[in-house]
Structure 1
């Protein structure tokens, strides 16, 4: 077949094909074109700002933790000394309680000696109070697991169950931190007794 019989349409690009080629070239050019430098700078600035804010927040958290640790150290600095002095306070009180009132009144020397012991005890407790060391003496109070240590339940006391009926050894706490629980005897609940706070039921209806 001669070249004259070839279809000219096969050699001529159609308008539609030209448009598709031009569109593809445009997309490729846009993809290869560099990003807008202003937008790139904005993104970089935003990232740097975020990092700076995070660093500031972390530094503030570290400062707050350090301040709290420093405050706690000062607040509870006397805990060790207080624990060492608690037996001293106990012995002063035992010395006073060990002398019958009749013997105390009958002997002026002994009476004056005990007055001195009581004054020493009071001065020590006052010093404790100024340092935030508080005495726990829960007689007739409801038993508190956080501050009391029950040694025994006592039946037949006539008091509601769980009431402290005797303090064997006073407890102490430094601000809100327990140094030593109070050792106590607790009233045993009477099964035959009505509840301490019985629920009132309206039966009038």
Structure 2
């Protein structure tokens, strides 16, 4: 090293102080970072995070359990909807067969015809009783206020003695399964009467439900 260079280093003592200051600053920063990343604080933060995850997972599992239980219940309640709807067509055919029998059949001397009619009636009652045991219920809309959720209006019947939109005729009975509509009742509704709401009898079905409870 030349005498001139040595002279410059001796004349400029800050050249050695600058690296030492940077090193001290780095050490201070490392110490500060060490304080921020205190092991106990880190551990507590991880525990809090795991606890939050556990609570969220427990809530999700509870929701899944409830949803699964509801789906299983619905599957059991409504699994036979298609089959029940087809069986109602059989019931309709039995009713048509009974309606086609002359009124004189009950008093006719032909015991064979009378026995056949009784057998058809018994078959229809047994089939409807079986469907009812599986949650299928028959609507009883006669005399109730027309409800589009449960009834299908086929025509209007002039009648000034009952309130407007009262079911006065049932063309085809309706059915529900559980709390769902299986088939709406086809009805005739009154027209020309007072506009007050038709009130069911005190021991009759709930007008909001459209069927016996």
Q: TM-score range by the shorter chain?
A: 0.7 to 0.9
Structure 2: distance between partners of 1:55 and 1:33:
33
Q: Which residue of 2 aligns with 1:170?
A: 173
Deviation string 1:90-121 (CA, Å, 9 cap, x unpaired) is: 11111112223223322322111100100001
- Does 2:164 align with 1:161? yes
Q: Which residue of 1 aligns with 2:74?
A: 72
Give the C-alpha shift of residue 75 in structure 1.
1.2
DSSP 3-state at the match of 2:72: helix
RMSD of aligned residue pairs (Cα, Å)? 2.2
Q: What TM-score does the superposition give when structure 2 sets the normalisation length? A: 0.73
Aligned residues: 171
Gaps of 5+ in 2: 1-24, 198-213
Structure 1: distance between partners of 2:136 and 2:158:
33
Deviation string 1:167-190 (CA, Å, 9 cap, x unpaired) is: 000011111111100000000133
DSSP 3-state at the match of 2:154: strand
After superposition, residues 1-205 of structure 1 pair within 5 angstroms as 31-35=32-36, 36-106=38-108, 107-156=110-159, 158-190=161-193, 193=194, 195-196=195-196
Deviation string 1:30-55 (CA, Å, 9 cap, x unpaired) is: 63443322122111110111111111
Q: What TM-score does the superposition give when structure 1 sets the normalisation length? A: 0.75
Deviation string 1:116-170 (CA, Å, 9 cap, x unpaired) is: 1000011001101111111113111211111100011111352111111110000
Structure 1: distance between partners of 2:63 and 2:196:
49
Gaps of 5+ in 1: 1-23, 198-205
